[in-house]
Structure 1
Amino acid sequence: MADVDPRRNIPRTDRLLALPEVIAAGERLSSSTITAIISEAQTAARSGAIPAAEVAPTVIRNVTNHSASSLTPVINATGIIVHTNLGRAPLSGAARQAIVDAAGYVDVEMDLDTGKRSRRGTGAKEALLRACPAAEDVLVVNNGAAALLLAVTALRGSPADSGETSVTTGSGGGSSTAPGEIIVSRGELIEIGAGFRLPDLMATTGSRIREVGMTNRTHLADYAQAISDQTASLLKVHTSNFRVEGFTAAVEISQLRELADQHDLPLVADLGSGLFEPDPYLPDEPDIDGALAAGADVVIVSGDKLLGGPQAGLIFGRREAVEAIAKHPLARAMRTDKLTLAAIEATVTHTGNPVHDALHIDLDRLRERTERLADLVSGTVVAHDGRVGGGGAPGVPLPGWAVELPEGLARPLRLGETAIVGRVHQGQCLIDLRCVPEADDDRIVEAVNRARENSQNHLGDNRVGDNRVGGNRVGGNRVGVDDDPDITNHA
């Protein structure tokens, strides 16, 4: 008599739907979600990943523990502050509360006094302008790329022999309607993560990129010689994710301002990272106030980098220029939502900021925490340089320390009940506490010890825990993080 195929014992969908726990889950989960959970368990049994007898318990467990989102909260132990793969800037407590408060009905476009429609995002705008005195106006859109695209599309120059810089739109609002040319240094044609290239973005505006200068050296004369009656604007881009060193030359915004005035051209500066004012920890990182004071018509930054807020594109600048951008039809397509506006306002108006705290961390306290962690998890303290990340301050080390653990613990830590993302480097898993709230230190201790215990139970005598480096300390040779660590260097 032939053996009965065990797959015939897989529970039918209707019987799984009738389980009391599944019926109860239907009060909070959609029917399509529950059906998908059941289907996944049945498929796992058909493939042999789980026995048929485990289908019902698996379904019950998954419908009971199903979270509101597939996104998993993690503890960032990489030492990279603005980690793109981990969502860039973590929001402050005030910003998180602002999002919760704004999740329902709010007066985003209503004056409660008159009951009439009001301007959108007034509170966020006022907060940003207070934080950036050099700006006359500001516009918030959904990300930095959108901000740049909108700015160069909306601003058109009107070449003339004299007079102040004029700003017109390319949508019937002014005298210059041809797309024209955007002049930019060849050394500033950057590519960021996932193959995103600046020239490709510019091409979508219908404008032509006019490259000037060389990769390592660009002079004011290069810009001047390229200007013609087809020129739409001058673009200055901060090379925020790489550095060119050695025989180099670049043109400052103040120099470009003089040239722009001579030809009535808009000057757009894309800074990227979002510092309001200079930071001594990042001496080469440009700030918004400084770029505006130097003469940029508009300055573009991202909200979720060094500013420490949600994903957003912020356009600061002269009132006439920002108003022209805001009136362009594309501005509606790039408009941000009430949650982002609330988070931006809270980020700017409150002092607590996880990005700022991680950048300016007390090194003595960081060393104490690291040594305590190493003692509690049988690890080794090694020198470890953190990074800003997210395309900010390339090559700038943030001195600190990390706990060195066996590489084999990296995956269990990521997949544990408390997901911890460390950095795998030279066959070791490094746990850097720079970006970890001190209240989470004990959670890391528990997670590491649990992961090691599970590994030991799984491997028997071939223990992961015994593979520690022990006394092989890095000493004075700091373990660095590559300039683009978001893609390649997290565990």
Structure 2
Amino acid sequence: MVESDPRRSIPRTDHLLALPEVIAAGEHLNQETIKAIISEVQTAARTGQIPVAEVAPTIISKLSSRLASSLTPVLNATGILVHTNLGRAPLSPAATQAITEAAGYVDVEMDLGSGIRSKRGTGAKAALLQACPAAEDALVVNNGAAALLLAVTALRGRGAHVGSGRAASANIDSVRKPAPPAAEPGEIIISRGELIEIGAGFRLTDLMTTTGARLREVGTTNRTHLADYADAITDDTSCLLKVHTSNFRVEGFTSSVEVAELRTLADEHDVPLIVDLGSGLFTPDPALPDEPDIDSALRAGADLVIVSGDKLLGGPQAGLILGRSEAVQTVAKHPLARALRTDKLTLAALEATITHTANPIHDALHIDKDRLRERTETLAEAIGATVVEHDGRVGGGGAPGVPLPGWAVELPEHCAEPLRTGDPAIVARVHQGRCLIDLRCVPESEDQRVAAAIGTVLTSNLVDDD
């Protein structure tokens, strides 16, 4: 007699929905989410991934541990500060609190005194201008790519430049009224050495050409001179664009043109100068002496400087546009600005990031090396592992190739996967057959949890080997 297939005994959906624990889960999860989890577990049982007897317990476990979103909090033990795959910059406590406070109704576009509509993001704008006195005005959009797209779209065509015709050291209030944008997009002049592709195959060149503009590439990959820009300027020139090569570095026989030199050329031909820095330093940082900053670029003569909010600034995803007041206003009044504007939560987090001192990215960049080594040695001793020298990185489009000297705990490579999928989820660096635990970006308050998680993984491996 042929035995019945055990999969036939998988509990029906209506029976599973009637379980007390499932009914209780309905107080915080909607029915669609609950049914999706039930279906997922039933499918796992049908395909033999779990025993039929485990269907109900698995569903109950999944429902009880279901977070508000499917995103899993992780501990970043890679040593990479701005890790794009892990959400770039972690927010500060002040920024997190600001998001919570802004989650309800807030006066994002209302003057509570008069009761009438006001401009959006005035607090974030004021914070930006206070942090960067060289900027006359500022605008916040939803990311760095959006800021670049908006800038090259709005400031285009000879005669459309705002604030040109003066030396960088001249009175910043001495600016012209903007001329109407040209009917044709024209040409964006950019060095061949600054044509950048960022993550997932996204190319800034493709972004800019969507505006209808043509890219006029000048110079070579390793060397570009002022004369290259000058020879390329025609009546079709839309703007001069300088882009910080924030995710790669060219060494050896190289040359590039500084912002101050481009300012002089832009004045001579009455075209705008846009500088995309990407990484987001307001002022020079001794820890990254070669990383360009917003203040210096503006003082050197840039009309607009573009940076991301979620890199070295340590804030939320945002595109920041700072510069001469009429240039920023020209960009802000473009119809595309409405489509690219950011939301109240981002504005709240950005303002809090700028106005408060605590910042995980800043802290990791300027970490006390003696304390980092002490923590690493304590962890290694607790789990019976070895400490090795390990260089961290800024990552995420900042300070390419610049090492951040430190230490890591060395584990077997096979520890990486169970650490990633454990609780807490710990993302380590896998390199040359090793799993490296770098505590630079891990809050010190989490050290004991990290040690416990590693201990569990190592013990499990020993049992499996037996």
Shorter-chain TM-score: which interval? Answer: over 0.9
Q: Paired residue for 2:96?
A: 96
Q: Paired residue for 1:487?
A: none
Partner AA of 1:386 in structure 2: G
Q: How many Å separate the matches in 1 of 2:18 and 2:399?
A: 57
Q: CA deviation at 1:456?
A: 1.8
Q: Determine if the alignment matches structure 1 residue 291 to structure 2 residue 297.
A: yes
After TM superposition, the structure 1 = structure 2 runs for residues 73-472 of structure 1, keeping only pairs within 5 Å, are 73-159=73-159, 163=165, 174-460=180-466
Q: CA deviation at 1:5?
A: 1.0
Normalising by structure 2, we get a TM-score of 0.96
SS of alignment partner, residue 27 of structure 2 = coil
Q: Paired residue for 2:7?
A: 7
Q: CA deviation at 1:158?
A: 2.3
Partner AA of 1:12 in structure 2: R
Q: CA deviation at 1:31?
A: 1.1
CA contact (8 A) 1:273 1:306 kept: yes
Q: CA deviation at 1:163?
A: 4.9
Q: How many Å separate the matches in 2 of 1:68 and 1:130?
A: 36
Q: Paired residue for 1:71?
A: 71
Q: Paired residue for 1:45?
A: 45
Give CA-to-partner distance per residue, 1:120-144, whole Å, 9 cap, x none.
0110100110000000000000000
Q: CA deviation at 1:168?
A: 5.0
Give CA-to-partner distance per residue, 1:376-421, whole Å, 9 cap, x none.
0111010101000001001101111111111111111111111111
Q: How many Å separate the matches in 2 of 1:449 and 1:373?
A: 10
Q: CA deviation at 1:175?
A: 4.8
Q: How many Å separate the matches in 2 of 1:82 and 1:436?
A: 13
Q: How many Å separate the matches in 2 of 1:381 and 1:459?
A: 24
CA contact (8 A) 2:154 2:181 kept: no
Misfit runs of 4+, over 2 Å: 157-160, 162-169
Q: How many Å separate the matches in 1 of 2:253 and 2:360?
A: 37
Q: Paired residue for 1:20?
A: 20
CA contact (8 A) 2:279 2:397 kept: yes
Give CA-to-partner distance per residue, 1:221-262, whole Å, 9 cap, x none.
111111111111000000011111111110111011011111
For these two proteins, the number of residue pairs brought into alignment is: 455
Cα pair distance change 1:167/1:204, threshold 3 Å = farther
Query: In angstroms, what is the RMSD of aligned CA positions?
Result: 1.3
Cα pair distance change 1:168/1:46, threshold 3 Å = farther
SS of alignment partner, residue 416 of structure 1 = coil
Q: How many Å separate the matches in 2 of 1:168 and 1:83?
A: 40
CA contact (8 A) 1:166 1:265 kept: no
SS of alignment partner, residue 404 of structure 2 = coil
Give CA-to-partner distance per residue, 1:410-433, whole Å, 9 cap, x none.
111111111111111111111011
Q: CA deviation at 1:167?
A: 7.4
Q: How many Å separate the matches in 2 of 1:248 and 1:180?
A: 29
Q: How many Å separate the matches in 2 of 1:406 and 1:158?
A: 60
Q: CA deviation at 1:149?
A: 0.3
Q: CA deviation at 1:116?
A: 0.9
Q: Paired residue for 2:171?
A: none
Q: How many Å separate the matches in 2 of 1:90 and 1:449?
A: 26
Q: Paired residue for 2:169?
A: none
Q: How many Å separate the matches in 1 of 2:178 and 2:254?
A: 35
Q: CA deviation at 1:281?
A: 1.1
Q: How many Å separate the matches in 2 of 1:315 and 1:407?
A: 43
Q: How many Å separate the matches in 2 of 1:257 and 1:128?
A: 23
Normalising by structure 1, we get a TM-score of 0.91
Q: CA deviation at 1:146?
A: 0.3
CA contact (8 A) 2:353 2:359 kept: yes
Q: How many Å separate the matches in 2 of 1:383 and 1:439?
A: 22
SS of alignment partner, residue 384 of structure 1 = strand
Q: How many Å separate the matches in 1 of 2:22 and 2:445?
A: 36
Moved more, 421-430 or 316-325: 421-430
Q: How many Å separate the matches in 2 of 1:155 and 1:359?
A: 35
SS of alignment partner, residue 385 of structure 1 = strand
CA contact (8 A) 2:305 2:323 kept: yes
CA contact (8 A) 1:155 1:167 kept: no
